[in-house]
Chain A
Amino acid sequence: MICLGIESSANDFSVGIVDSNGHVLSLVTSSYIPPKGGIHPREAARHHAQSAPTILRRALEEASISIKEVDVIAFTQGPGLGPALRTGATVARTLAAYFNKPLVGVNHCVAHVEIGCLLLNMKNPLTVYVSGGNSLITRFEEGFFRVYGETLDIALGNLLDSFAQRAGLPFPGGPAVERLAKRSQRYIELPYTVKGMDLSFSGLLTHALRLLKQGVPIEDVCYSLQETAFAMVCEVAERALAHTRSDELMLTGGVAANQRLQEMLAAVAKEHGARFGVVDRRFAVDNGAMIAWTGLLAYQSGAVTPIRDSLVKPRWRIDQVPIPWRKHA
């Protein structure tokens, strides 16, 4: 069985084709890079609409199949930017209706976890999913993914991107901040905000920008920013690990590429005897393959999304999605 997945929740338009053996037959992505500032949802949607035909064709070519051989069409139904999601959903609906294929709406966050499990050969990890739009710590338990901790305001990637943008660093900001941070070892105290199991990064952003304005070297600010924000993530991850007694810890999302974060979470995992895995960058960022794979899992357990129920859900929480393909923890 072959599934074609369409991801369009943020600035990437991506198509992945996956078979039921868990082989990724192709993955083609086009990224919308804003000329300046952040991602404007309307501009992202325009980019997606323009790239869709090419990306689709290339994905099919790379997989060496025709659309007729595809058994299921999956798409990101949420969460994400409304206009961007709608563009992907429209493409998916059109394909499903025109070629008479079943349609499956997939939750973006669930897809990040599922592709990670496939690639890292993990069964039920505690997942730290940190990207530009999401920061959450989650694990499957009794029918649903439970959220053990999440950001109360901005996402971790958003913190790094916003800081970088206002500091005049190139987009995406994460890698730029990481490069500069490597040049410093001078820690300056920044607001460390953990509320119970939840995180707040907005005060950290304000304070870091203030330091920069005061003339503190940008390397020191980047270093302190990373150390503080990552320590917060690690603390919550560690508490969730102790709480769930999970023997696997997975790191995914765009920020997963950060080596310092990897190193810190690896230490957390080691202390609790859990196997640590970082999802390969290609599949840790937003990608169509994860949507295809999760769509396939859902379809095989009987889930389909009739077109009338295929409206996008920009605010669809991971803990509201039934997961029929996962039986028990």
Chain B
Amino acid sequence: MAHRSSTYTLEKARLIARGAEAHIYLIEDWHGFRAVAKVRVSKPYRVRELDTIIRARRTKLEAYFLYKVKRYGVPTPTVLHVDLHNATIIMEYVEGILLREHLLRTPDEDAVEQLGSLAALLHTHSIVHGDLTTSNAIFSDEQVVLFDFGLAKSAVTVEDFGVDVLLFKRSLLSVHFKYFNELFEAFIRGYQRVAGKNRTNTVLKKVSEIERRGRYVSRELR
């Protein structure tokens, strides 16, 4: 990976994951830390201007929120370096496995409950994650660490919180459909522990409202 920035190089770094949006490189020694570089790669299919806008914007947002949410008690990888020009964030390497893989092995309700609490923590501090799925969390030493804040934003409306929860619900339905009921209930339990009963009910009501608004929802559900 050739980066134009002169402050560091990814030449010796090993590509450890290729997501749809970014490549993840492992850097064994980043000033004494084991680190990963998340590089938002340029997409040949989109027009260059748009490509640049999207990559820079998301890199910036992600770095900002990774840092910001820590103070609310949401575990995230520590940001070590941001290179907007190359749409790259260098952050702490977190030992563990993707929550998605963990849940496919065991439908661990505790882990999902933790994730529910983290979502509620974000929401009570007026932040939505924007892409809450089990692929965007690491299960590390019995603890859930949240990452991928590229679609995060400040939010104050119940609508935004509802969309966040709905996205998570849908991701459970598409990947963990066998244990959907148990896992979604666990999520709500965790959410409620932080946000309280009233708040949780308000958000859940909004979730069903958004679902009913959705396309081709049967009349019985409307």
Contact = CB atoms under 8 A, between A and B. Distances in A.
Name, among B20, B135, B214, the residue most crowded by chain A CB atoms within 10 Å (CB to CB).
Answer: B20
A227 B20 contact: no
Contacts of A148: 174
Contacts of B45: 231, 234, 263-265, 267-268
A194 B173 CA distance: 19
Interface stretch (B48-56, B113-121, B139-147, B188-196): B48-56
Contacts of A315: 215-219
Interface SS, B side? loop
Interface string B34-61: 0000000001111101100110000000
**Chain B: interface residue count, which band?**
20 to 34
B88 interface: no
Interface in A218-277: 227-228, 231, 234-235, 238-239, 241-243, 263-265, 267-268, 271
A127 to B, nearest CB: 15
Interface string B165-201: 0010011011101000000000000000000000000
B151 interface: yes
Nearest to B51: A231
A150 interface: yes
**Chain A: interface residue count, which band?**
35 or more
Interface in B1-51: 18-21, 43-47, 49-50
Nearest to A314: B216
B133 interface: yes
Contacts of B214: 152
Name, among B43, B171, B175, the residue most crowded by chain A CB atoms within 10 Å (CB to CB).
Answer: B43
A151 interface: yes
Name, among B130, B151, B215, the residue most crowded by chain A CB atoms within 10 Å (CB to CB).
Answer: B215
Interface in A193-220: 194-198
A314 B135 CA distance: 34
Interface of A: 78-79, 142, 146-148, 150-152, 187, 189, 192, 194-198, 227-228, 231, 234-235, 238-239, 241-243, 263-265, 267-268, 271, 313-317, 320
